[in-house]
Amino acid sequence: MRKGSSSNGARAVTLIPGDGIGPEVIAAAVAVIEHTGVKLRWDEQIAGMTAFKRAGNPVPEALLKSLRATGVALKGPLETRVGEGYRSINVYLRKTFNLYANLRPVRSFQGVHTPFRDVDLVVVRENTEDLYAGLEHQITPGVVESIKVITARASRRIARFAFEYARREGRRCVTAIHKANIMKLSDGLFLKCAREVSSAFPELRYEEQIVDAACMRLVTDPQAFDVLLLENLYGDIVSDLCAGLVGGLGVVPGANYGDKGAIFEAVHGTAPDIAGKGLANPIAAILSGAMLLEYLGHQQAARRIRNATGEVLQSGNTLTRDLGGSATTRQMTDAIIAAMGPRTSSAADRA
Ligand code: NAI
């Protein structure tokens, strides 16, 4: 993936509406981004079940070509059938474009009622290996093997990403989460690499916790955590748990970063139970859009989106059903756009 811009100067970004609620929440994110005045040229591409049904291929060549050209994407969720069908396109894209770091900021919002207050943590998940390497086979009927791959190279790389992020963002602590008491070799190697990397960041506290104990602590004392560093599987599971601390999957954004590109997407999936009904909470996709703007250098536009989202949630007047309200996706999007104030007409807001 490499960064590209179109002939009229607008930055080209691959837009993947995705499956299920994807097209609804991605349309909301695009409307909000466009309201900032930042000029982007969206190169819309199908993927996942939508592409499989339309073109017989869940990862069309046109999608890969677009990603190679733009180097950056805003993506909706993609359907992956449980226990059958094609392999996860998300995993495929992250591996193909070497988007090794998955970053998910999890923050409490005033106005969103949960049993937890003042949660402010960041999940950093390794994205390319672990049990997600897809190495599964049947040894004999009734016996299957799934191989967990952990390498020093990928472990050091994700640890460095987490510590550098923590340093840049003025965070205080990185907690490596593991099960090295049982998986002594694989998780042991992950921990060894995290420890090595931590020594280059003396101003940051480094802690280790076993994943089961960490889950218990997350739901009893979430404020004890700052930056969480996890392998792929634990990171996937703990991300959803953390989303639950701050109001659910509808409000947590995410990004997959590599050295040469990034794909921005919410933590949530296609939500088939509410797809097509206009009920989805667009905030996770909208905040993923803010992360994309930040990545492209538009810090002020990103802040404007975050502030407006915070205001709408705090007022409590326009909340989608998952947050206890009755607003539609469209109503919530319109409320955020209204809170942003008048549309900015140029991209001259680079901070
Ligand atoms: P899910 O995240 O789609 O849904 C879990 C629950 O959260 C559902 O009750 C849903 O209605 C609710 N929910 C999720 N997002 C919401 C939103 N924005 N607003 C309001 N409610 C929301 O997870 P599930 O059901 O496990 O997966 C469904 C499909 O999504 C599967 O095919 C899975 O593979 C795929 N998936 C794709 C992801 C991606 O493309 N990054 C990530 C996670 C799942």
pLDDT at residue number 222: 97
CATH class given for the domain over 1-103+249-351: alpha beta
Report whether 266 contacts 284 (CB < 8 A).
yes
pLDDT at residue number 81: 81
Residues of the chain with confidence (pLDDT) below 70: 1-8, 346-351
Active site residue 75: no
The residue annotated as part of the active site, out of 179, 187, 257, 322, is 179
- Which residue among 86, 249, 328 is best mutated to probe the pocket of ligand 1, counting the most ligand atoms within 8 A of its Cβ? 249
Active site residue 179: yes
pLDDT at residue number 351: 41
Residues 6+ apart with CB under 8 A from 267: 104, 239, 240, 243, 249, 252, 253, 254, 284
Strand order in the sheet with 173-178: 40-44, 11-16, 72-75, 262-264, 255-257, 101-107, 120-126, 227-230, 173-178, 205-210
Q: List ligand 1's pocket residues with C-beta within 6 A.
A: 21, 25, 77-80, 90, 249-250, 265, 268-274, 280-281, 284, 322
pLDDT at residue number 188: 98
Active site residue 349: no
pLDDT digits (tens, 9 = 90+) for 246-267: 999 999 999 999 999 999 999 9
Q: What are the residue boundaries of the structural domains of the chain, listed by start?
A: 1-103+249-351, 115-125+152-245
pLDDT at residue number 278: 97
pLDDT digits (tens, 9 = 90+) for 224-234: 999 999 999 99
115-125+152-245: CATH topology is Rossmann fold (3.40.50)
Active site residue 132: yes
For every residue of 237-260, DSSP letters joined together read: HHHHHHHHHTT-GGG---EEE-SS
Crossing angle of helices 283-295 and 299-315, rounded to 10°: 160
Q: Which residues pair with 223 in a beta bridge?
A: none
Task: Please tell me the residue having the least CA distance from ligand 1 atom 5.
Answer: 271
Element (H, E) at 75: strand 72-75
The minimum-distance atom of ligand 1 relative to the CA of 79 is 32
pLDDT at residue number 87: 81
Within 10 A of 217 (CB to CB), how many other CB atoms are there?
Answer: 14
Q: Give 328 Cα–ligand 1 centroid separation in angstroms.
A: 17
Task: Please tell me the residue having the least CA distance from ligand 1 atom 16.
Answer: 250
What one-character DSSP code corresponds to residue 131? G
Tokens representing residue 248 in the block: 């659910």
pLDDT at residue number 346: 57
Taking the C-alpha atoms of residue 244 and residue 127, their distance in angstroms, rounded to an integer, is 21
The residue annotated as part of the active site, out of 65, 184, 212, 277, is 212
